[in-house]
Chains A and B, each alone.
Chain A
Amino acid sequence: MNNYIATYYNAEKLAKAWAVIRADFLRETGVTLYITLMATLFAILIGLPLGVLLVTGDQKGIRPLPKPLMAFLNGLINLLRSAPFIILIVVLMPITRAIVGRAVGNTAVIVPLIIAAFPFVARLVEGSLREVNPNIIEMSLSSGASTWQTVYHVMLPESVPSLITSFTTAVTTILGYTAMSGAVGGGGLGNLAITQGQQRYNQAVLLAALIVLVILVQVFQTVGTRLAKRMDKRIKE
């Protein structure tokens, strides 16, 4: 133990670590947030409608879609969810290049992140919407609502607290994925921890990056949970 501290946390290492923290941490935290939030935003933009489709298009849903189409959507989501992220990054490089013009860098990381996260978000949204009381959906249809009106005026508003909880789970998961951005030359705290910390035998940098990541997750989770609770009107005041 003493040896470990002497090797990795001696004055020289700590001084170097401090230099890295002062020079890079604020910027790299910003990069992490940029990648995470952009990826979450687009993952929701794609995953939310897809999740709605999974529920309404179900054979027992309010607007059943052809069985082969639903089987294809479910299969695609399962396929994307089973591919490890690091492999997805590499496989998707041509597509990334086609969309953002280049296959490396911070923005380039966002594309595979979206592809990895939107099926996850779709499944979360599916779960949230399936919780909506079927009697309320029947009420909506009996009031003369169309499929779209039932989704927009009834299913989505009724599941807002649950959706917020789902999106909070999504954002924290995506934050974890950003650590792999270094594989395609992207930045962020995770990348910094690996390149400046682990690869240069500076454990203090690694530890500091970890602490910041932990704080970020805590903040996202706390804000999400509080918001979900505050939005939920089922609780008597």
Chain B
Amino acid sequence: MIELLNLSKSFVTADGPVDALKHVSLSIHDGDIYGIIGMSGAGKSTLVRCINMLERPSDGSVIWDGTDLGKLSKKEIQQVRHQITMIFQSFNLLMQRTCLENIMLPLKLIHMPRAKAKARAMELLETVGLPDKANAYPAQLSGGQQQRVAIARALATDPKVLLCDEATSALDPKTTHAILSLIREINRKMGITVIVITHQMSVVQEICNRVAILENGAVVEEGEVSQVFSNPRAAATKALVYPDVAEGMEPDEGVNAQTVRVVFQGNDAAKKPMIASMAIDCHIAATILSATTRTLNGKAYGNMLLRIPGGPDELARAVKYLSAEPNVVVQVDAEYTQDAVNAREGQDE
């Protein structure tokens, strides 16, 4: 288990100190595929580099299986880095070395005999699906293939944890999907804990079981992916889960206008014509301000932002009607839009 306890990191820049991380506390359990998501500049990269001590935290600690990594010597940290390995957005392969030699690099660092290292590297090339590329140079490979070689390299020393720093951000959607499948397979078959840093919600959606949302260096929301996605609370999470809503919706300050967020889970709820039946049964013609559906692990999740005409009476009736449906959660959401406005103003400062 990896525990981040009250982790802070500040940098001294020409414009004064910058707090990249502010009191971050997270627990990542063995076997998790843990997503850390945030906009660029949220502090994701700094956070992941604190986990393997590429960046020394200014305050707080990183506890890995009971060991406080911040208290280890340089030598001991190097040992830990054979157990917590990393892949990158730009793959970072040695361009002057063949794929085989790239995968052998971590094994050379631990002084494994060459023949043994070579056999291990061949085995890993097989694992990542590139057995015929042993003697190819990285420049001869596609981006997806390069990332596969980088994954093989990261697996060479039998790590316990794999850190993925925007590992699919430079890849096209199809290749991204293939790489994510490979990472999930590694997680399941080898039992390696994976920490995924990304700005893409789709990545978290596809492979993570838990997620933390990072904004301005602080964790604003954390939990099971299905929970966070179906019922996002923090403004930053909503902005990530429903980017269309956050960007397109300006609250209309009309006296009677009230907005309601309707969240539904499961295929049954998703198939019901709720708004139409409400119009017939309650005579309330709601305006759909935005609506999205997405599928997580085969289960449909929907989210609608509705405006209910009339006054508080109609609002109450509508909430009551919609709440009666199974697997539907209704939030009176005037506050949401206000949150979103504040959050956006906060970012502009």
Q: Which of A21-29, A105-113, A119-127, A143-151 contacts B (4 or more CB under 8 A)?
A: A143-151
Contact B109 A143 (CB under 8 A): yes
Contact B78 A146 (CB under 8 A): yes
Tell me if B241 is interfacial: C-beta within 8 Å of chain A. no
Which residues, 84 to 124 on B, are CB-close (under 8 Å) to A?
85-86, 88, 90, 92-97, 105-106, 108-110
Contact B86 A139 (CB under 8 A): yes
Contact A157 B92 (CB under 8 A): no
Tell me if B79 is interfacial: C-beta within 8 Å of chain A. yes
Contact B94 A138 (CB under 8 A): no
Contact B139 A233 (CB under 8 A): yes
Min CB distance B100 to A, Å, is 13
Given the interface contacts A136-B92, A153-B105, A157-B97, does A143 sit within 8 Å of B85 by beta carbon?
A: yes
Q: Kindly state the separation between the CA atoms of A142 and B77 in the bound complex, as whole angstroms.
A: 10
Which residue of the partner chain B has the closest CB to A149?
B109
Contact A135 B139 (CB under 8 A): no
Given the interface contacts A141-B54, A234-B95, A235-B139, does A135 sit within 8 Å of B109 by beta carbon?
A: no
Q: Kindly state the separation between the CA atoms of A28 and B283 in the bound complex, as whole angstroms.
A: 108
Contact B54 A138 (CB under 8 A): yes
Given the interface contacts A135-B88, A144-B81, A236-B140, does A160 sit within 8 Å of B54 by beta carbon?
A: no
* Interchain CB contact (< 8 A) of B106 among A138, A143, A157, A231: A143
Which residue of the partner chain B has the closest CB to A161?
B96
Tell me if A237 is interfacial: C-beta within 8 Å of chain B. yes
* Interchain CB contact (< 8 A) of A142 among B81, B94, B97, B108: B81
Q: Kindly state the separation between the CA atoms of A133 and B77 in the bound complex, as whole angstroms.
A: 23
Which residue of the partner chain B has the closest CB to A137?
B92
Contact B54 A144 (CB under 8 A): no
Q: Kindly state the separation between the CA atoms of A138 and B79 in the bound complex, as whole angstroms.
A: 16
Tell me if B198 is interfacial: C-beta within 8 Å of chain A. no
Contact B139 A144 (CB under 8 A): no
Tell me if B137 is interfacial: C-beta within 8 Å of chain A. yes
Given the interface contacts A139-B86, A141-B54, A153-B105, does A158 sit within 8 Å of B95 by beta carbon?
A: yes
Min CB distance B278 to A, Å, is 54
Q: Kindly state the separation between the CA atoms of A139 and B93 in the bound complex, as whole angstroms.
A: 8
Given the interface contacts A143-B106, A144-B79, A144-B82, does A157 sit within 8 Å of B96 by beta carbon?
A: yes
Tell me if A33 is interfacial: C-beta within 8 Å of chain B. no
Instruction: Determine the chain B residues whose CB is within 8 A of the CB of A142 once the complex forms.
Output: 52, 54, 81, 85-86
Contact A145 B78 (CB under 8 A): yes
Which residue of the partner chain A has the closest CB to B78?
A144
Contact A153 B139 (CB under 8 A): no
Q: Kindly state the separation between the CA atoms of A143 and B157 in the bound complex, as whole angstroms.
A: 9
Instruction: Determine the chain B residues whose CB is within 8 A of the CB of A236 once the complex forms.
Output: 139-140
Contact B82 A160 (CB under 8 A): no
Chain A 151-195, CB-CB to B under 8 Å as 1, else 0, gives 001100110110000000000000000000000000000000000
* Interchain CB contact (< 8 A) of A153 among B80, B82, B109: B109
Instruction: Determine the chain B residues whose CB is within 8 A of the CB of A157 once the complex forms.
Output: 94, 96-97
Q: Kindly state the separation between the CA atoms of A146 and B110 in the bound complex, as whole angstroms.
A: 11
| Shortest 7 CB-CB contacts between residues of A and residues of B | A144-B81, A139-B92, A233-B137, A144-B78, A142-B86, A144-B82, A143-B106
B interface list, Cβ under 8 A from A: 52, 54, 77-82, 85-86, 88, 90, 92-97, 105-106, 108-110, 137-140, 153, 157
Q: Can you sample 7 A-B contacts with CB below 8 Å?
A: A139-B88, A141-B54, A142-B54, A143-B82, A143-B85, A153-B109, A234-B95
Given contacts A136-B94, A143-B106, A233-B138, 18 further A-B contacts (CB under 8 A): A138-B92, A139-B86, A139-B88, A140-B105, A142-B54, A143-B85, A144-B81, A144-B82, A144-B110, A154-B105, A157-B96, A158-B96, A232-B96, A233-B95, A233-B96, A234-B96, A234-B139, A237-B140
